[in-house]
Structure formats: structure tokens, C-alpha cells
Amino acid sequence: MLRKRSPLIICGAFIFVAWNVILFFVLMRRPSTQGALDSPDELGNKGDRAGGDQFGNIMNEVMRVANAFEAEIESQKKILLQIQSHWSVWENKGGVTAAKSKSQAEHSAPVVIPILVIACNRVTVKRCLDKLIEHRPSAELYPIVVSQDCGHAETSDVIASYGSQLTYIKQPDLSDISVPPQHKKFQGYYKISRHYRWAFNQVFNTFSYSSVVVVEDDLEVAPDFFEYFRALHPILKSDPTLWCVSAWNDNGREGFVDPGKASLLYRTDFFPGLGWMFTKDLWAEIEPKWPASFWDDWMRQPSQRRDRSCIRPEISRTLTFGRKGVSLGQFYDKYLRFIKLNTEFVPFTKMDLSYLEKKKYDESFEKEVYSASVVTVEDLQSGKLTGSGPFRVQYSSPDSFKTLARNLGVMDDLKSGVPRAGYRGVVPFLFRGKRVYLAPPAGWSQYDPSWS
């Protein structure tokens, strides 16, 4: 009933205001009663009293009008209070929400961050989906979209079993792709790249989301996975020096991360993938030149990265359990299966993350790295160094980097000159309980793409 009566309430308020304006002018312009009854002759006889009585009459009339106006205002005030009371009830019932402008509603409403799960022929996608649904705080704010390639029936059955808990889409083109003869064994990488392109276009252009978190079907997520991306979403949107947020630390193996610093976040120049968020604006930039294959290494090239960084955690918010795939288990047995998955819920949305702003971060990061004592691998391995660090191990060439990285147990490959988990050439990690920075000499200026 309140919704139907709301136009009457608004109309009543309008009439109230208009009535008081008219009343005010009528009362102020109305002549006195005595002046209206006097004849011209009488007015002439009273000329000698004009100097005093006329002024007194005017003052009396002004006072009378003022009193009448005050009484009328008091009466109308009561009516206005009744209108205000009805308006408040209607507002609390939700009537005003419908009247808000679109921009106000969008500004106040929480951002929807969809999770895109890329699937193919792993029935173990169930493990991935179960954890996403278990830790998801809101189905409305974090809709899950599963995009399947390959046409694998058993995997399709698993995905379909979740019903309305997710949106299930299928990549329609399952044909083989014509590839160069030397890439025949890499046919799978071409199909993956085709699938990603199609799925991203679905998320951004068909479903019209403004950002997305991409999860492969062999990833398990941490309890604060959603909290992590929720907190970093506004930073990604507002900082042009960033182009992604990743849940992954390439050197996040047990013993190489500080378990007491689950809230610690870094900027990194290396595109990590493996649970990552990016925006529709970035997709509009890179979609026209999307590669036919090896899309992740393509993302790591200078022409795509354009000196932008990603945010990544000290302790990973994703864990990969997919040993078998197109990469044939590359790095899995040596590194990936030992990645530590965070188990402590960190309330990132309640934390001050302004330290991640480039200017603040660079000043603090460079100061800590280059004020650290320079040591050798032998110094670290001997166990004779006192304190928890930080310590700096310096490299000067791609060969020296790879040798030192292998000896220290961190990943030794470079992509377009950028080391995994590196920022400004520096790779942070823990070694036997001590903070270590594997770093180039002071004065580093840019990456050399030939270091690969």
C-alpha cells in the first residue's frame, strides 16, 4: 500500500509548499480592513492625522499579518511532519531504493567478482569446485562459471552435477588446429589458448563482468582466497602500474616462506598465473593480439607486460594437484607439489594495504634489499650467520643467477629476463629460517629479455 500511496505523499508535499508561497504573498499584499471602508471624503478629513495614525495602522496590520502567518505556518508544520513520517516508512520499506539513480546504486553495491574455472578432461575438477563452494562467502558476489573444452563426457557429468551452484558453459569448437610441423606435439597448447580466448570473451562480453579470477581445474583454494581478491580488487582497478593479482608464489614451498607472515604481500614483475585476477580493460587491450599458443609465456613478454606488475602473496592461496597435463608434469615433482597452501584466514579487507602503492613499495623494498649484508651461498649453507636477516646474495649474469638459484633451491628459469617471483630483478625467499634476497647489483634499471 505504501508504494501505491507514495505519489500522493509526494504530491501533498508539493501542494504544501506551493500553498505557503501563495499565502505569504496574498497576506503581505492585502490592504487593511479600515482603509478599504473609508470614502474619499473621509480620507481627506484625516489628512492631518496621516503622519501618525497611518504609520500606526501599518504597523498594526504588519503585526496582524505576521501573527496570522505564524499560526498558518504552525498548522502546516504539523501536516509536513505527517508527510515526513509517511515518507520515512516508505523509505524503510525500500521505496527509495527504486528511486535512486543508477550511479548511486552502482557506487554503493559490492562489486561482483566471478570465478572462471577452466576445465577439460579432469574429473578431479570436483576437488577444485568443492573447495571453491566450501570457502565462497556469497554465491551472488562470487558466481562460479565453469568453461569446459575437450568434450570429455565424465568431466562434463561432474560439472553438471553441481546444478545451480554454478554456470556451466562449453567451448563449441573442438576441432584440431593446424600447427607448424615442429609444433605438432604442442597441439594441446594451441587448444588451450583457443579455449582461454573464448572463455574470456564469454565472461567479459557475454556476461558483461568487469573483472574475473581465473582458476584452472587442478587448483585447490585457501580459506581466505575470496577475501584476498576482494581486498586487492580496488587496488588493481585504481593502480595503472598493476595488471594482475595472483594467488600464487612460485617459490612458495614449505621452508621457503615465513609461516608467521601469512598477511605479507609483494609486487612482482613475473606473471604468476595459477589463480589470478584481471580486468575487462586489460582484456580489451590484449584480446586483439591474443596468441595461438603458449599464452602464459606470451603474457610475460615485455610488449604485453609493459613494465606493469602483479601482486602476489608470501604464502600461496592456491595449490596445484594436477601432475598430468600438457606440460607433462614439468616442475611438478621438483617444485609444485611442495607448495604450501595458506590455512590461516587473513582479514585482508580490514587491513591497510597502501604499502603496495608503487612509490611507497619501491622506496621500502630497495632500502631493505640493498642495506642487507652481502653474503655467499656458502655462508648461508654453513649455518654460521647470526640473526634472521635479511641477507643479500648477488648475481650479475643469467648464468650466475641460475647457478645461485639452483644452489639455494629456488626456481632458476627466466622468462624474457624476469626471474620467477622477482621484482626489479630481486627474488625474496626464506632459506633455513633466514630472509634472503637473490638480487642484481645496486642500480638495476631494466630487464634484459635475452636472459632466458
Provide the annotated active-site residues. 296
CA distances from 32 to 18, 29, 43 (A): 25, 10, 14
Residue 76 contacts residue 19 (beta carbons within 8 Å): yes
Q: C-alpha cell of 11? A: 504530491
**How many Å from the N-terminal Cα to the C-terminal Cα in the chain?**
71
How far is residue 215's CA from residue 166's CA, in Å, rounded to a whole number? 14
What kind and span of H or E run contains 237? helix 225-238
Amino acid in position 369? V
Q: What is the DSSP string of 330-360?
A: TTTTTTGGGBPBP-S---GGGS--GGGSHHH
Q: What is the DSSP string of 31-93?
A: PPHHHHH--HHHHHHTGGGIIIIIHHHHHHHHHHHHHHHHHHHHHHHHHHHHHHHHHHHHHHT
What three-state secondary structure class fits 143? Answer: coil
What kind and span of H or E run contains 95? helix 95-99
CA distances from 425 to 110, 175, 416 (A): 37, 41, 12
How far is residue 413's CA from residue 395's CA, in Å, rounded to a whole number? 14
CA distances from 390 to 95, 314, 405 (A): 59, 15, 17
How far is residue 257's CA from residue 264's CA, in Å, rounded to a whole number? 10
Name the pairing type of β-strands 115-119 and 144-148. Answer: parallel
What three-state secondary structure class fits 146? Answer: strand
Cross-strand partners of 415: 418
Write down how long the chain is: 452
CA distances from 145 to 54, 149, 176, 199, 369 (A): 86, 13, 25, 9, 41
- Determine whether 274 is exposed, middle or buried from the number of CB atoms within 10 Å of its CB (0-12, 13-18, 19+): buried
Residue 332 contacts residue 323 (beta carbons within 8 Å): yes
